[in-house]
Amino acid sequence: MSDDRRDPEAQLIQKAFAPLTLGAEGSFGLADDVAFITAGSSGLIVTQDQVIEGTHFLATDAIAMVAKRLVRRNLSDIIAKGGLPTAAFLSLAWPKSRPRAGIIEFASGLGEDLAGLCGTCPLLGGDTSTIDGPLVASLTLLARPTAATGGPVLRGGAQEGDVIAVTGVIGDAWLGLQARLGLLDRQKLTSCVAFATAPYPPALALAPLIGQYAHACLDVSDGLLLDARRLAQASGIGIELALERVPVSHEAAAYVAEDQIARTLMLASGGDDYQPLIAFAEADFGAFASRAHALGIRVTAIGRCVAGRGLKLSFEGEPVDLPATLGWEV
Amino acid sequence: MSDDRRDPEAQLIQKAFAPLTLGAEGSFGLADDVAFITAGSSGLIVTQDQVIEGTHFLATDAIAMVAKRLVRRNLSDIIAKGGLPTAAFLSLAWPKSRPRAGIIEFASGLGEDLAGLCGTCPLLGGDTSTIDGPLVASLTLLARPTAATGGPVLRGGAQEGDVIAVTGVIGDAWLGLQARLGLLDRQKLTSCVAFATAPYPPALALAPLIGQYAHACLDVSDGLLLDARRLAQASGIGIELALERVPVSHEAAAYVAEDQIARTLMLASGGDDYQPLIAFAEADFGAFASRAHALGIRVTAIGRCVAGRGLKLSFEGEPVDLPATLGWEV
């Protein structure tokens, strides 16, 4: 980021982003060409995700919320891998058609979530430029691993006999989106609409618990069913899920009640849930669940790892065919 | 990056980018949600720069070259800081209007420069998505510091009495751009046009020499004069540059000959030179220059660090006023 003090553009960028460094030494006050990170003797988990206007958000969305969504997409991945954020880098392509002052709003949303949800994570650097087109922002989030392996909790570590569990509830993001699109009754889905507008991952305190207990984990982003199959594939095992156990909110329960199997399948292939899907040794699940509950985080066992390959579904003990689409495949 | 094997989009991305991991363990084959980096006991220099269609390149530019330009913009910063690249992350927003197969070409250009110019630097992760608009790509480049300080060579370390030097030549990128825009005679500037089309930083072997000898350094990207003033400001000193010493190519020399002072000022405020501007203790400059020459890299002393503040120019001993614009201020 440029430091030229005569240049009003550079001044705006300094004003917007320099406070987000939280005084971290390795940011050099965003006034040099690079940043410097230390990883201690271990190493760092890295994730990098984008939000693109027209693809991940609407041009009319509040710009501070767009920035928060960017942080949360990345944070959700980091929590699922047992990481605690230590540094962030931002690439921003700001539309020529948007007021430049919007950068301040964007930065304030970004800073609020980096300092809050991410646990005092400094912005160390990045690049801001202009685009003759839609807004594009990419965040790189680095995190300290908490797992005893010293690395991220991967997709591939689940073992036969493991319990499969998920935190929070599934399907609110999808229901909220349908309501926002006018396809479902908005009045009956106010909490879902709120979640779809401002989704959030579980509390950061969950990350060290995942690091301590999980065999395998990934963030449910493209649909519970699709992501469960990915975990099964990566681990070289089979997974059986009991659809009646999939945790849903009160609003979602009312929606599901009219056709339990078909509608649970819809929710379980919707995606954007921001919840970790986790495989545990059976003996560890209880300890994890009670420690998570103590943090106010709901944990629900929804299935099992079994011999074989792929994903199998049941409802109250009866087999259910896989739907044609398991999730959001991009 | 997604690993779903049934999805042709995900397959294309795997096909394009998985070879660029060079088998690095921390990439997890681009099949998990995150990557893992180790920094040893020291730390890592980080830079992040974008290329945006319509801002940094033209829609008609060869797409493999666009990817190379992205690598080189970042690499040029890293070399100037005395870093040796160890890992890269890519965020790509690919236009819906471009053939998807172009991603393969983009990745091949990226891979060629990461494996070549960057010295076997693996791609460890990132994010690929679609955009209803121009192409946007952001690269995060991590590098091992070679300086005895254990960190990057900063802008702020120059001291009174230091020699100011620059590698290579200055102004070819600006002349090449003018020729490409039809403002200068293309026939007389074929090398400059070639450089403007495919700019390149000095060899990576320069980085450890900068790490060993430089007090301060930055990459000349926005104009020699502007970047020299930035170095002076950050170091809290003055810099005097002798315009007649600014190194130029044969083609540029022919252009400059018609009005030495005015035209040298044009070249020295053009930017995109991809050359480090370096401050050395006087006693160290000779050793640096002879070791750089042994690598085939031209080094030219063009000025001095002096007491005071800001930038002063001269031509053959006579003072020259600063031009109204010192470079490219974004």
Interface of A with B in 155-174 (CB under 8 A): 155-156
pLDDT tens string A274-297: 999 999 999 999 999 999 999 999
Residue A140 sits at the chain B interface (C-beta within 8 Å): yes
Which chain B residues are Cβ-neighbours of A278 within 8 angstroms? none
Phi, psi of A283 (to 5 degrees): -65, -25
The pLDDT score that the predictor gives to residue A7 is 64
The pLDDT score that the predictor gives to residue B261 is 97
The pLDDT score that the predictor gives to residue B10 is 75
The pLDDT score that the predictor gives to residue B3 is 41
Q: Give A175's DSSP letter.
A: H
User: What angle, 0 to 180 degrees and rounded to 10, lies between the N-to-C axes of helices B172-180 and B260-267?
Assistant: 90
Mean pLDDT estimate for chain A: 94
Question: Does the distance separating the beta carbons of B33 and A219 come in below 8 Å?
Answer: yes
| Terminal Cα-to-Cα distance of chain B (whole angstroms) | 32
Question: Does the distance separating the beta carbons of A38 and B42 come in below 8 Å?
Answer: yes
Question: Does the distance separating the beta carbons of B52 and A43 come in below 8 Å?
Answer: no
Residues of chain B with pLDDT under 50: 1-5
Kindly report the pTM of this predicted structure: 0.94
The answer to whether residue A246 scores a pLDDT higher than 60 is yes
- The Cα B207–Cα B276 span in angstroms is 10
Q: Tokens standing for A228?
A: 């469960």
Residue B11 sits at the chain A interface (C-beta within 8 Å): no
Which chain B residues are Cβ-neighbours of A5 within 8 angstroms? 233
The pLDDT score that the predictor gives to residue A140 is 98
Least CB–CB distance from A4: residue in B45, B151, B230: B230
Least CB–CB distance from A37: residue in B4, B43, B49: B43
**Which ipTM score applies to this complex?**
0.92
Judge contact between B1 and B30, C-beta under 8 A. yes
State the nearest Cα–Cα gap between A17 and chain B, in angstroms. 15
* pLDDT bracket for residue A134 (50, 70, 90): very high
* pLDDT bracket for residue A330 (50, 70, 90): low
- The Cα B162–Cα B222 span in angstroms is 22
Question: Does the distance separating the beta carbons of A330 and B50 come in below 8 Å?
Answer: no
- The Cα B85–Cα B74 span in angstroms is 10
Read off the amino acid at residue B141.
Answer: L
Which chain B residues are Cβ-neighbours of A83 within 8 angstroms? 34
The pLDDT score that the predictor gives to residue A1 is 43
Read off the amino acid at residue A168.
Answer: G
What is the pLDDT averaged over residues A109-131? Answer: 96
Indicate left, alpha or beta for B22 from its phi (over 0: left) and psi (-120 to 50: alpha).
Answer: left
Q: Chain B residue with minimal CA distance to A90?
A: B48
The pLDDT score that the predictor gives to residue B12 is 86
The answer to whether residue A4 scores a pLDDT higher than 50 is no
The pLDDT score that the predictor gives to residue B5 is 46
Least CB–CB distance from A89: residue in B5, B46, B129: B46
Q: Residues in chain B, how many?
A: 330
The pLDDT score that the predictor gives to residue B22 is 94
* pLDDT bracket for residue A11 (50, 70, 90): confident
A139 CB contacts (<8 Å, ≥6 apart)? A48, A49, A50, A70, A71, A73, A74, A88, A89, A90, A91
Strands (E), B33-82: 35-37, 44-52
The pLDDT score that the predictor gives to residue A96 is 96
The answer to whether residue A45 scores a pLDDT higher than 50 is yes
